[in-house]
């Protein structure tokens, strides 16, 4: 079943959350000259019009990129990501186009780096292929991500990131994404895996978080969840969740700074929240949560730690 169309949700708060963490992981890969590969397993169509079609009808982006668009200050990584979105606009300063994950990655590749993007939906695949056409660093596959999780790993070069961003249309996708993450990790323990999950009213996300935590995925899993006071109506989406498996050194510190600043714009009423936890494997190989942080909405500079 491929009825999901990301156009509807493009640029919403969950996209912003995911793309900022993706940006930070890319920052750490770009800090060294060695080549890296980015494997986008559920790539979508690459670029989205916000002023027409489904995105214009849903208007979800107004509570996402729309709330950050005129931001002049903030952490460097947040401003750099906004700069990349600005570069894409055909009619600046009007915001009419939003870059999805493969386009964002493509814009950061150096000559020595590669992008492999998988997409199954025929229309999304065609759009993605057209958008990346002619860039020799990019490879687009019309391929099932579940099969690619076995076939594409371990990649060459060994440094890199894999993005798992399923649509969660079917309940089975919750278990499939954990299985795929574990399979990839078994074959590729030098890469970073970024797994997006929805925070829904039905409260299924704690089980997903726990399943990832218990799957022996190795050291350092960063969990980040962002909620809005007024999430878009209709989808049941209360918040956006991300697990970063094999999180680069200091990602937790950078994510806390960048996402706290973003969350303050995304959730001006301040009754949503930002949750962050770092799970480490202890000496017996049993993962445990070591740090949970939530910014205090009354003191934006303050981030409290709870055990």
Ligand X SMILES: C[S@@+](CC[C@H](N)C(=O)[O-])C[C@H]1O[C@@H](n2cnc3c(N)ncnc32)[C@H](O)[C@@H]1O
> Binding site annotation covers 3?
no
What is the nearest approach in angstroms of ligand X to the Cβ of residue 212?
Answer: 18
Number of shown-chain residues binding ligand X (CB under 6 A): 20
In the bound state with ligand X, the residue whose beta carbon lies nearer, of 165 and 225, is 165
Catalytic-role residue among 27, 40, 113, 165: 165
Give the helix ranges, DSSP H, for the chain.
13-30, 53-58, 65-68, 76-87, 101-106, 122-132, 145-151, 172-187, 205-213, 251-266
What is the nearest approach in angstroms of ligand X to the Cβ of residue 5?
Answer: 7
> Binding site annotation covers 42?
yes
> Binding site annotation covers 119?
yes
Task: Examine the residue annotation and report whether 165 is marked as an active-site residue of this protein.
Answer: yes
Containing 240, the helix (H) or strand (E) segment is strand 237-245
Residue in this structure with the two tokens 């980040």, named with its chain if needed: 224
- Candidates 116-124, 184-192, 213-221, 222-230: pick the segment binding ligand X (CB under 6 A): 116-124
In the bound state with ligand X, the residue whose beta carbon lies nearer, of 131 and 287, is 131
d(CA 225, CA 242): 6
**Where in 126-185 is the site for ligand X (CB under 6 A)?**
144-146, 165, 167
* Per-residue x/- track, 7-46, ligand X (CB under 6 A): --------x--x-----------------------xxx--
6 binds ligand X (CB under 6 A): yes
d(CA 221, CA 236): 26
Q: Beta partners for 198?
A: 240
What is the nearest approach in angstroms of ligand X to the Cβ of residue 282?
Answer: 33
For CA atoms 83, 84, 85, 87, give the dihedral sign.
positive
What is the nearest approach in angstroms of ligand X to the Cβ of residue 296?
Answer: 30
Local structure of residue 297 (DSSP, 8 states): T
Contact between 204 and 241 under an 8 Å Cβ cutoff? The reply is: no
Containing 273, the helix (H) or strand (E) segment is strand 273-281
> Binding site annotation covers 144?
yes
**Where in 64-93 is the site for ligand X (CB under 6 A)?**
none
Q: Beta partners for 192?
A: 161
2 binds ligand X (CB under 6 A): yes
d(CA 59, CA 157): 40
d(CA 276, CA 209): 12
In the bound state with ligand X, the residue whose beta carbon lies nearer, of 167 and 292, is 167
Which residues contribute to the annotated binding site? 19, 42, 101, 119, 144-145, 165
Cite the active site residues: 165
- Site of interaction with ligand X (CB under 6 A): 2, 4, 6, 15, 18, 42-44, 100-101, 118-121, 124, 144-146, 165, 167
């Amino acid at each position: 079943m491929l009825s999901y169309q990301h156009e509807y949700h493009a640029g919403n708060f969950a996209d912003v959350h995911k793309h900022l963490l993706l940006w930070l992981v890319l920052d750490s890969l770009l800090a060294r000259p060695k080549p890296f590969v980015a494997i986008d397993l559920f790539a979508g169509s690459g670029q989205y019009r916000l002023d027409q079609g489904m995105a214009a009808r849903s208007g979800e982006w107004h509570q996402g990129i729309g709330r950050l668009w005129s931001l002049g200050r903030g952490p460097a990584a947040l401003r750099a990501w906004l700069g990349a979105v600005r570069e894409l606009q055909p009619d600046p300063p009007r915001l009419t186009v939003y870059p999805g994950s493969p386009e964002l990655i493509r814009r950061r590749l150096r000559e020595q780096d590669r992008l492999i993007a998988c997409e199954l939906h025929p229309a999304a695949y065609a759009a993605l292929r057209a958008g990346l056409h002619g860039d020799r660093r990019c490879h687009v596959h019309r391929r099932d991500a579940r099969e690619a999780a076995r076939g594409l790993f371990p990649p060459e070069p060994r440094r890199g990131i894999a993005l798992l961003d399923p649509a969660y249309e079917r309940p089975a996708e919750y278990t499939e994404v954990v299985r795929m993450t574990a399979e990839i990790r078994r074959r590729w323990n030098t890469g970073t895996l970024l797994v997006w999950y929805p925070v829904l009213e039905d409260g299924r996300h704690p089980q997903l978080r726990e399943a990832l935590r218990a799957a022996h995925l190795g050291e350092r899993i960063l969990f980040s969840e962002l909620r809005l006071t007024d999430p878009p109506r209709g989808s049941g989406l209360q918040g956006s969740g991300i697990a970063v498996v094999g999180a680069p050194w200091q990602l937790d510190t950078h994510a806390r700074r960048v996402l706290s600043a973003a969350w303050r714009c995304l959730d001006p009423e301040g009754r949503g929240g930002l949750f962050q936890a770092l799970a480490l494997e202890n000496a017996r190989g049993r993962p445990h949560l070591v740090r949970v942080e939530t910014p205090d909405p009354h003191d934006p500079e303050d981030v409290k730690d709870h055990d």
